[in-house]
Every structure is written in C-alpha cells, then in structure tokens.
Chains A and B, each alone.
Chain A
C-alpha cells in the first residue's frame, strides 16, 4: 500500500498555509514528517484525516482517491487528551467503536494493548488518576486499539521517561515490522533517524526537502568535507582557509568541533588534503562530512534572516 499526498494547497481565509505539499509513505515504512512549529504539519495531517478539506490537490492510496473514513487510521495527536473522568477501558472501547470495532473485539484489543504497554492494572481506573506518562501510554493504546493500517504519531515521545521511551520505540518498530504505514512527526531527530526510511521537511507550508533519508544524507554530504586542527581555533582556522585556500574550497558551516568545507569544482579530496598537509595546519580531524538529520533540518528549516 502506498499513501500519497500530492500538491495539497490549503487556505484559511485569505491566508494560504500549505502551498502545494507532496509526500508518500508505504506499508512497512515510516515517514518522518518534520517541520518547525507552525510549519503546517498538523494541518497536513488533518487534511489527510479529512478533518479539513484541501483547496486543491489529491490524496491517493495505491493511485486511487483516498477516503479517510474507509481506512483504519490511528492518530496520536500532539495535543493529547482524553476523558479525565472516565475509566481507561471505557474510553478506549468508545474510541474503538467509533472506528468500527465491535464491543467484544474492542474490549479484547484494549486489554491486549494495555498489557503490551504495561498498564493493565489501570484498566478500571479513571484517567485523571494516572500519571502523565501513563496517560500518554493510554492515549497510545487508544491510537492503536482498532489495528490501524496507517498510524500517525505526532510527537509520540514528548513527556516520556527513558524507560517508557524504550517501550514506545519497541512498539513503533513492531508496527513497522507488521507492515503498517507510519507517519512520524517529531522534533527529536534521533528518533526520526532511528525509525524513518524517508523524510519530508515542511517549511512555511512548503516541502523543502523530501526523499529517502540515506540518500538525502549521502547527497547532502557529497563534495563536503570536515576539518579541525589542533593548533587553530575554529574561527582562526576559518579565517585562514578563507584567505589561503579559497581557490580549492569554501567554508560552508561549522559543527561543534569542526568546519564544514565545500570542494571547488574539479578539485579532489586528495588535492585538498595535500595542500593542508603542506601548510602549518596540524590536522586533528579530516574526512567526508556526513550530516546529521538535525543539521539538515536546521539548514532547510532554519530562518536565514
């Protein structure tokens, strides 16, 4: 199964918030939907879930028009909340029944997920009596109770301690292994890198980068090198490179410990290495630059102004 969002435009009043966004996700894969706060991620998800109607564009499943009510979708919103005064099982069964499950099946599934997430003992308790982390687990269980084919997780790790994060990581991996199409939205890039085969970065209502993560990283690192010296501070090194090496490289950025360099056209990595070795720079670290997802995100979604 392939779910494709194609050229979606959405306006609220005069204000267009999505300017033609497109991305795809397949069964058994996770897509990292990234973007800064207010970039348009939640609006895109709500259009996918048919809460909002797009002004133009298409949503397709295996090439055919997608109708949210005909598919099982599990949605864990960033803004969490269920019914504080109702019991855990009661509201889980209610949500499962809204998604078309029979009561008996819903009860069984609720028990299974509560067990899986280690919160069975709270089944009969009112939600408000549970800790925040456990309430979050209940919400995750409610998301997955109806065995969805598409799972949308918006910031699933926020508010979880390391132990619960590990439980959630296992669950997400199980979902991917079970062939679910997972859309994963988070600001915690390490989790995105861990789960997602592909990413789509939304910035100001536009997709500024999308594709397979491994390819993006490779492409992003192509022609780029990383250098640090033991006898020069980063700023001094940068100044030196800009004045003495501008014919073969340019400095395109810096990480915590090293400078990121772009090779000039027709200059090989060996040429650069030789020139640096011949200079007074004592190389501490030199090699191909492989950007982290965080670097890519800041580069694409950081404001230039």
Chain B
C-alpha cells in the first residue's frame, strides 16, 4: 500500500509537472472563462439579445416585432410597375440598401461590377426574379423577399377593400402567451449538455487510456521495468499508474469544466440564458456523470495498461489498443445516435453493460426515465467490472512486463493466464 502511494505520487507528479498538461489545462480554463465573461466587457447584445448596459435585474424582454433579417448588403431593384414598397422592404431587410435600376441589364452589370450584392426584378405582384453573382449556402435573400412580397400583397388587398391591416393581422396571427411547467425533465435542454458530456468522457478515456498504455510500454522499452519489478509489485505499479491517470484526468477536466460552469453561472444573465442548453447542468447529472465517468475511465484504464504491457515498443501501442479503442468508438457513436431515444431498448441495455454504462446511464438520468434500482444495479455491475478489469489488467501486466520482443497477442496472453 505504501509502495502504491509512492508510485501514485511519482506518476501524478509526472502529469502535473508536465508543461503540456499545465499549459493545456490553464489555457482551456482561461479561454473558457474569458469567453464567458465577454458580455461584461463588450457589447454582445446583437449576439445574445441582451443589452449589457441594462441592469441585470431587468426582466428579459422579447421583441414584439418579428426578427428582422439583418443585412448590410446593397440590392439592385428593377421595379418597372412600382409594385415594391421600399420602406416595407427595408423593414424586412434590416440595414440593407436598395438601388432602383432601369432594366435587368443594368442590374446584372451592377452584380458583375460588384456594386450590388444581389438584385430583384419585380415582374408582377406575385412574380419576381432573383439575381445573384455567386449563391452562397446561407443565402436566404429570396425567402425574405418572398415574405416581403406577401406582406405587400396583403397590404394592397386591405387598402383596395377598405380593411384594417393591423386588425386582420391581429386576428390572423394573434400573439399567444405560453408558460411551460416542466414537471420532470426538459430534454430539449438536457440533450445538448448530454451531448457535450458524452464527448468529454469519450475524450478523457481515449486520451488518458492511450497515455497509460504508452507509459507502461515506455517503461518496458527503456527497461526501467527491470528495476521497478524488483522494487515493488506489478499490482502496485499498474494501480499506481491508472489511479494517477484518473486523478490527473479528473483534475484537468474538473478545473476546465468547473471554471467554465462557474464563469457561466456568474455571467448567465448577461448571456440571457442562451447557453443554458449546454452549461446549465443539474447537480445530480454532474454527480452521476462524475461517478460513472470515473468508474468507466478506471475500467478502460486498467485494460489500456494491460494492453501496453503486451508490447515492447511504443510504436506498437496503437495496434495493441486498437480493439479497445474500437469498442470505445462504437459506444460513443451508439450513444450519440441514440441520444434522442434514451428510453429505447438499445440505451437501456447499454446502460447496464460496463463497457458502456459510464456514458449511457447519465444520459438516461438526464433525459429519460430511470428507476433508482436501475442506477444501483448498473453501478454495482460497473464497480464489480472495474475490480475485475483491475485484476485481469494486473495479471496481464505481470505476465507481459518482462516479455520483450514481438507483441504478445491478447488471445495468447489470455490462454497463458488460463493455464496459470
């Protein structure tokens, strides 16, 4: 136990004293904090919809007019019948400039000369042509112009028939007030933070798992293992490495995630709550994420360590761990694909398997309906599997550590263990 503590401390120091680890952790935490504090220093109202100069106690106000299409473009308009109402168009194309032209030839020339970004030729009250030099993926000018044409048509009809446009609009499209009372879970909100947490735990397992495997193989390839195995037990060595990696991973993700979540909590009102879908994670989900994520991480880390011991050169590590990474990738994609169907049978089954419960159980807790006994059963299976993985990992590690040369196949290693 004492030796385990010495190894744990030594390995942890290796992570923590690494410039890369410190720089990466601090950089991400600082970038996260700075980005989330931006509304305090610069006016981001156009982006957040909240005026930072307003008192933060003010109620969030929703604009009563439809969101205008912000555009700083210049449009050429050929309207021989004087059908288009420039004022109304300006309401729809907020900030845009319309230049009347005498024919479509002039319109096209303006586009070619780049003196206009796009152009409209209005042929009748219900027909127009849209001109653009290069159409981009996000070009929605014609959709907005459609709406403007419809509005003009409605206004004309009302005028011709002596009707009150605003009254008809009120009748036709009355403003509805809705107040949601969500009694259990808001999956539209939890979807995105679940998505983010699945990615985080996936990245942690892949990143630290590989690091542990490489660290084990490096000790073999530089022969440090020769002295180590005669100074302590293989169990202490493997457990020390894995637990140190777990602590480093938790520390790193804790610092980054913690900084981001706390920064957002302080600046939430300035953001108008717009990042709630990712950053307003309930405490119970975070706790389950931490518990299941850590156990899942340990489960894989022991196996990564054992896989590292089966090869003697660091360049062989990726081949040795390929089976494990494949399983992790599959679980990752299954989790993301089934994120909108967490009460489906696939996620239910995956939430009991130790290979996948680390990610699927907190998805079910955050977005689906899950009984407490299910969580407890899944947790017990996962804990038992972590212990099993630890024992199997240590046995493979013990067998592999002093065997140099060609990589040992997992099947051969398992057969060897069975014989023993």
The interface of chain A, by Cβ under 8 A from chain B, is 13, 46, 49, 51, 68, 73, 75, 77, 79-84, 86, 94-95, 97-100, 139, 142-143
**B184 beta carbon closer than 8 Å to chain A:** no
A187, B381: Cα distance in complex, Å:
55
By the criterion of a CB under 8 Å from any partner CB, how many residues of chain B are at the interface? 20
Chain B nearest CB, measured from A278 CB (Å): 62
Closest chain A residue to B3, Cβ basis: A98
- How long is the Cα–Cα vector from A1 to B232 in the complex, in angstroms? 24
Residue in chain A with minimal CB distance to B222 = A81
Give Cα distance in the complex from A94 to B419, angstroms: 35
Interchain CB contact under 8 A, B230 and A80? no
B7 at the interface (CB under 8 A from A): yes
Write out the residue numbers on chain B whose beta carbons fall within 8 Å of the beta carbon of A142. 227
Q: Report B-chain residues with C-beta under 8 Å of the C-beta of A13.
A: 416, 419
User: B227, A82: Cβ atoms under 8 Å?
Assistant: yes
Closest Cβ–Cβ distance, residue B218 to chain A (whole Å): 9
Beyond A81-B224, A94-B10, 15 additional contacts (C-beta under 8 Å) are A46-B402, A51-B229, A51-B230, A77-B223, A77-B227, A77-B230, A80-B223, A81-B226, A82-B222, A82-B227, A83-B224, A94-B6, A95-B227, A97-B6, A98-B228
Q: Is B164 an interface residue (CB 8 A)?
A: no
Could you show 22 A-B contacts with beta carbons less than 8 Å apart?
A: A49-B230, A68-B230, A75-B226, A75-B227, A75-B230, A77-B223, A79-B226, A80-B223, A81-B226, A81-B227, A82-B224, A82-B227, A83-B222, A83-B224, A94-B6, A94-B10, A95-B231, A98-B6, A98-B228, A98-B231, A99-B231, A143-B227
Name the residue on A nearest B221 (C-beta): A81
B222 CB to closest chain A CB (Å) equals: 4
Are A98's CB and B232's CB within 8 A?
yes
B159 at the interface (CB under 8 A from A): no
Complex contacts, A84 vs chain B, CB 8 Å: 222
B contacts with A: majority SS: helix
With both beta carbons as reference points, the residue of chain B lying nearest to A73 in the complex is identified as B230
Other-chain residue from B14, B225, B419 in contact with A86 (beta carbon distance below 8 A) = B14
| C-alpha gap A98/B228 in the complex (Å) | 9
Interface centre among B232, B416, B419 (most CB of A within 10 A): B232
User: With A and B bound together, what is the CA distance between A211 and B228 in angstroms?
Assistant: 32
A197 to B224 CA separation, bound complex (whole angstroms)? 31
B419 to chain A, nearest CB (A): 8
A142 closest partner in B (C-beta): B227
Output the nearest chain B residue to A143 by Cβ-Cβ distance.
B227
Residue-wise interface mask of B (111-129) relative to A, using a CB-CB cutoff of 8 A (1 in contact, 0 not): 0000000000000000000
Interchain CA distance A51-B225 in the complex, whole Å: 11
Distance, CA A94 to CA B13, complexed state (A): 11
Please tell me if the beta carbons of B7 and A98 are within 8 angstroms of each other in the complex: yes
Chain B residues positioned under 8 Å from A81 (CB to CB)? 222-227
How distant is the Cα of A51 from the Cα of B229 in the complex, in angstroms? 7
Chain B proximity of A110: nearest CB distance (Å): 14
For A75, list chain B residues within 8 Å (CB): 226-227, 230
A139 to B231, CA, bound (A): 14
